[in-house]
């Protein structure tokens, strides 16, 4: 049986296959009040038809004053629950597990990058915002949340010794930096119970792979059910650069066929007892199968490939050719999805087949 279609356990939850959608922020769709727009309904319908075992939504804001991007979906108010509930239903209708990524942009919201550039009093409140957001997400009917600790957002800023540049109780050692996130994870577990999936997206360079492994172990102990690996503090990531050219504090063995983030996922996987999701450049069936068969990760995470062709998974498991992502220097889904060349090609193909 094809490994891409085999059921797979994530903690005590059975996923219909080991292929997951990693978070893609749809910031150009949302209204400034963080409420669901029609364009979201259309996208989440696609997610529900994607065939994948699990889809993680775009990073949603846990706090209105400090939105990750002004026009990103929100989960800070009970008024948002009915809209979120609709979205949960759209993803889950064919048995795909639906996870919301919960996020805060931290110092960026105050025009800086380091914690010293943000008001400390606000940072202390944000832990409770994450926990309250998870409770709303659960009420809306989602299967779980993924705590966003990557890409120079708040929790990444706290985990990284580069950006956590203040004297407070969450600095001084890796354990102390991790404690801020550990308290969020434990708080969510306590409020949402054991049946709710709690995952974590973590950088493999916070600031190096050895420290990231320690962080992953601490988050496992705190109760997360999976770690999805990406990048932590790095300026180029902030600017939407997803290439593999920069050093992530990982020594790459000769002949390693995939990106550093996938290598980071494998190294973390070897040091934790919970499933690990590897994403970055998983663009075709061969790569996805190889990563899973070689045991480099428990699940593969698909980002741009599924934005390029929403039926990417359904097609590859049938041996059909999807429209592949063009790997544009900066993905158009960050600011104007109508310019995505893959979607344009799909639309043209649909037109021609009429
Ligand atoms: C347009 C766009 C938006 C993204 N938004 C998020 C996000 O909200 N949260 C997150 O953790 N990663 C986000 N990412 C990173 C992706 O989840 C993924 O790690 C990255 O695209 C590499 O995987 P891929 O090669 O399959 O695209 C985003 C990437 C792109 C291109
Ligand atoms: S083709 Fe370009 S715009 Fe479309 S998903 Fe790929 S990188 Fe993004």
Tens-digit pLDDT profile for residues 104-133: 988 888 778 888 888 776 777 799 999 999
Atom 6 (ligand 2) nearest CA = 325
- Distances 354 to 34, 309, 314, 322 between C-alpha atoms, Å: 38, 19, 21, 19
Among the bound ligands, name the one nearest to the CA of residue 337. Answer: 2
Which atom of ligand 1 is the closest one to the Cα of 281?
A: 25
Pocket test for ligand 1, best of 20, 22, 299 (most atoms within 8 A of CB): 22
Domain at 148, CATH number? 3.20.20.70
Is the minimum distance from the CB of 312 to ligand 2 under 6 angstroms?
Answer: no
Among the bound ligands, name the one nearest to the CA of residue 19. Answer: 1
Residue entry with tokens 């929790």? 155
Q: 69 near 25, Cβ under 8 Å?
A: yes
Residue 199 has φ and ψ, to the nearest 5°, of -115, 175
State the pLDDT at residue 298. 98
Is the minimum distance from the CB of 340 to ligand 2 under 6 angstroms?
Answer: yes
Which atom of ligand 1 is the closest one to the Cα of 259?
A: 25
Mean pLDDT of the chain: 92
Q: How far is the C-alpha of 10 from the C-alpha of 30, rounded, in Å?
A: 30
What is the distance in A from the centroid of ligand 2 to the CA of 104?
25
State the pLDDT at residue 251. 86
What is the distance in A from the centroid of ligand 1 to the CA of 307?
10
Is the minimum distance from the CB of 302 to ligand 1 under 6 angstroms?
Answer: yes
Residues 26-66 have pLDDT tens digits of 877 666 678 888 889 999 999 999 999 999 998 999 988 76
What is the distance in A from the centroid of ligand 2 to the CA of 65?
31
The model's confidence at residue 220, banded by pLDDT at 50, 70 and 90, is very high
Locate 69 and state its tokens: 């991007």
What is the distance in A from the centroid of ligand 2 to the CA of 341?
6
Is the minimum distance from the CB of 229 to ligand 1 under 6 angstroms?
Answer: no
Pocket test for ligand 2, best of 325, 336, 344, 347 (most atoms within 8 A of CB): 325
Q: How far is the C-alpha of 77 from the C-alpha of 26, rounded, in Å?
A: 19
What is the distance in A from the centroid of ligand 1 to the CA of 23?
6
pLDDT average, residue stretch 245-268: 89
What is the distance in A from the centroid of ligand 2 to the CA of 307?
7
Query: Based on the structure, what is the number of domains in the chain?
Result: 1
Residues 234-248 have pLDDT tens digits of 766 555 566 666 677
What is the distance in A from the centroid of ligand 1 to the CA of 156?
15
Domain span at 262: 3-352
pLDDT average, residue stretch 138-159: 95
């Amino acid at each position: 049986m094809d490994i891409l279609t085999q059921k797979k356990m994530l903690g005590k939850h059975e996923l219909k296959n080991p292929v997951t959608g990693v978070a893609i922020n749809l910031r150009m769709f949302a209204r400034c009040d963080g409420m669901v727009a029609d364009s979201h309904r259309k996208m989440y319908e696609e997610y529900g038809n994607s065939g994948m075992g699990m889809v993680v939504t775009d990073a949603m804001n846990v706090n209105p004053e400090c939105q990750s991007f002004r026009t990103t979906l929100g989960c800070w108010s009970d008024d948002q629950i009915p809209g979120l509930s609709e979205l949960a239903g759209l993803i889950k209708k064919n048995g795909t597990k639906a996870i919301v990524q919960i996020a805060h942009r931290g110092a960026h919201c105050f025009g800086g990058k380091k914690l010293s550039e943000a008001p400390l009093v606000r940072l202390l409140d944000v832990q409770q915002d994450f926990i309250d957001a998870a409770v709303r997400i659960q009420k809306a009917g989602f299967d779980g949340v993924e705590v966003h600790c990557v890409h120079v957002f708040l929790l990444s800023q706290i985990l990284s010794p580069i950006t956590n540049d203040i004297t407070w109780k969450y600095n001084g050692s890796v354990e102390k930096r991790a404690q801020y996130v550990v308290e969020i994870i434990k708080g969510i577990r306590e409020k949402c119970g054991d049946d709710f999936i709690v995952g974590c997206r973590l950088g493999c360079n916070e600031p190096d792979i050895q420290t990231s492994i320690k962080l992953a172990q601490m988050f496992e102990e705190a109760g997360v059910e999976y770690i999805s690996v990406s990048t932590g503090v790095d300026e180029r990531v902030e600017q939407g650069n997803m290439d593999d050219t920069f050093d992530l504090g990982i020594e790459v063995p000769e002949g390693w066929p995939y990106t550093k983030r996938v290598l980071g996922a494998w190294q973390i996987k070897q040091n934790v007892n919970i499933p690990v999701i590897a994403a970055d450049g998983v663009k075709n069936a061969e790569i996805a199968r190889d990563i899973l068969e070689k045991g480099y990760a428990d699940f593969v995470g698909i980002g741009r490939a599924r934005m390029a062709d929403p039926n990417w998974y359904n097609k590859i498991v049938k041996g059909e050719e999807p429209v592949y992502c063009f790997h544009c220097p900066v993905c158009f889904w960050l600011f104007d999805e109508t310019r995505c060349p893959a979607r344009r090609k799909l639309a043209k193909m649909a037109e021609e087949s009429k």
